[in-house]
Amino acid sequence: MDRNNYMKILRDQDIFKNPVYKMPDRFVTRKTVKVIVENNKGEIALVTNPIHQLYLFPGGGAESDDLFKEAKREALEEINYHIDIKKEIGTLEEFRNRDAKHYYTTYFLAVPIKTNITDLRTEEEKKNGLEAIWLKKDEVEKILAEQVKKVRIGEIGFYNTAFNIVRDEYFFTLVF
């Protein structure tokens, strides 16, 4: 993949004050998608759960190379809405030492079209109490900024979530 197409690269040292995981000899590639969904009230969808009590944009691992399809699937699963993708925002590259993963995460901007009748969350998401909430942009901005601050001072104990928080805040500020 051509590095010139990526908006930013994140590594452990960009996320953590004192990284503890050494760079592995090689990384396994993983494609993921994230969706910033804004409704007609100007509210943004976030997902959270009672385990980590943090807020992120809906998204997850891509099961195919059709990233538009994957973004729609993730939104349907996590916020229970069919969406219309308005644009691809960009892709961010990450090297996560702990799991030796090289992520390519593509962000999309979308609007909800209609709610889905069936709960499509995965069994793990249901077990963890994953739920969607809709907040005004200024509330989202404040929450993301507070979470990034907690990451920077070492208060977030969830490794992958810390990456996701920094990444989500970066893309939110690009769009809004």
pLDDT digits (tens, 9 = 90+) for 92-137: 999 999 999 999 999 999 999 999 888 888 888 888 888 999 999 9
Would you call 173 exposed, middle or buried from its count of C-beta atoms within 10 A (0-12, 13-18, 19+)?
exposed
Position 3 pLDDT exceeds 50: no
Superfamily of domain 3-175: Nucleoside Triphosphate Pyrophosphohydrolase (3.90.79.10)
Cα separation, 55 vs 13, in Å, equals 22
Report domain extents, the chain. 3-175
Q: What is the pLDDT of residue 129?
A: 86
Position 10 pLDDT exceeds 70: yes
pLDDT digits (tens, 9 = 90+) for 45-86: 999 987 889 999 999 999 999 999 999 999 999 999 999 999
- pTM score of the predicted model: 0.92
